[in-house]
Amino acid sequence: MLAKDMISDVVPALKTSDTAQTALNWMEIFRVSHLPIVNESDYLGLISDSDIYDLNQPEEPIGNHPLSLPRPSVKIHQHIYEVIALAARHRLTVVPVIDNDNHYRGVITYNEIISGIASISAIDQPGGILILKVLQRDYSMSRISQIVESNDARILSMHITSDPDSTSLEITLKVNTTDLVSIIRTFERYSYEVTTWVTDNDELDRFYTDRYNLLMKYLNM
């Protein structure tokens, strides 16, 4: 998903002649803390509510306000990951988008970013979630895919988290089925540690309840 596919058609841009109070009113209406300043099609910068409060001159044109941010923006062809990185780095509530001629094209809001994340990670699609813990040296994407597909399922998305102080990886899988029992059994047979699973399938609850009851029976022998 690219930046051009996520542009909001709701949030307006400010002109340099707009007052600080106008900017604050729009921020309140659209529930954002930043708004772009545009002169015709030229993107001039991003003003924050903090910039306005610091100057404390609500009737002053925003063109007279110093800006704390160095014109953050993304190009229309940049990937959603780059949009997320910029928003996180500057703690932005909107991300301005410009074209290859540096002309302003619109903004991406927090809601569009969340919707984009849901789309590319298949969060909004039916299925189950598995979290595996494996040693870095044992990680194999092809092996993980093979295990899932051998159970007549497929991976919709995969996310890997690594702690720099650990030799293990945490792998989050979204699969296209809520019947995770056979997949978990296969992972465990290949010595993968399944730390967490999320599904609305009652069979999985019964499976682990039965295993727990067998363990209790063994311990009480």
Q: Are residues 133 and 32 in the same domain?
A: no
Last residue of a domain, one of 118, 148, 174: 118
Task: Looking at the structure, tell me whether residues 69 and 136 fall in a common domain.
Answer: no
d(Cα 12, Cα 196) in Å, to the nearest integer? 43
Mean pLDDT of the chain, nearest integer? 86
Question: Looking at the domain assignment, is residue 211 inside a domain?
Answer: yes
Segment among 68-72, 79-83, 208-212 with least mean pLDDT: 208-212
Q: What is the pTM of this model?
A: 0.70
**Pairwise pLDDT comparison (119 vs 45), residue with the higher score:** 45
**10 and 114 inside one domain:** yes
Same domain, yes or no: 8 and 106: yes
Closest to 36 in 3D by CA, of 85, 79, 92, 86: 92
Instruction: Determine contact, residues 134/168, Cβ cutoff 8 Å.
Output: yes
Q: What CATH number does residue 113 fall under?
A: 3.10.580.10
Which residue, of 73, 94, 118, is where some domain finishes?
118
Contact 197, 180 (CB under 8 A): yes
Assess whether 153 and 171 both reside in one domain.
yes
Residue 101 counted as domain residue = yes
Number of structural domains found in the chain: 2
| Region of poorest pLDDT, from 7-16, 97-106, 157-166 | 157-166
Tokens at 48, concatenated: 């924050």
Same domain assignment for residues 146 and 96: no
Instruction: Look up residue 62 and give its DSSP letter.
Output: G
- The average pLDDT across 160-188 equals 89
Distance CA 145, CA 90 (A): 36
Note the helical H segments in the chain. Answer: 20-30, 49-55, 80-90, 110-120, 141-149, 181-189, 202-219
Residue 201's pLDDT band (boundaries 50, 70, 90)?
low
Residue 145 and residue 201 in one domain: yes
How far is CA 97 from each of CA 14, 77, 83, 128, 156, rounded to the nearest angstrom? 14, 9, 9, 35, 29
Higher pLDDT among residues 108 and 201, named by residue: 108
Tokens matching residue 119: 């789309």
Q: Is the pLDDT of residue 219 over 70?
A: no
List, as one string, the DSSP characters of 118-165: HHHTTTTSS-EEEEEEEEGGG--HHHHHHHHHTTT--EEEEEEEE-TT
Residue 208 confidence (pLDDT): 47
Q: Which CATH number covers residue 158?
A: 3.30.70.260
**Residues making up the chain, counted from first to last:** 221
Flag whether 58 is in a domain. yes
Q: Do 68 and 146 belong to one domain? A: no
User: What does the alpha-carbon distance between residue 152 and residue 147 come to, in Å, rounded to a whole number?
Assistant: 9
- What is the domain range of residue 134? 128-219
Cβ within 8 Å of residue 75, ≥6 positions away: 3, 97, 98, 99, 100
Say if CB 170 and CB 160 are below 8 A apart. yes
**pLDDT bracket for residue 217 (50, 70, 90):** low
Identify whether the C-beta of residue 136 lies closer than 8 Å to the C-beta of residue 73: no
Name, of 57-61, 140-144, 159-163, the range with top average pLDDT.
140-144
Residue 123 falls inside a structural domain? no
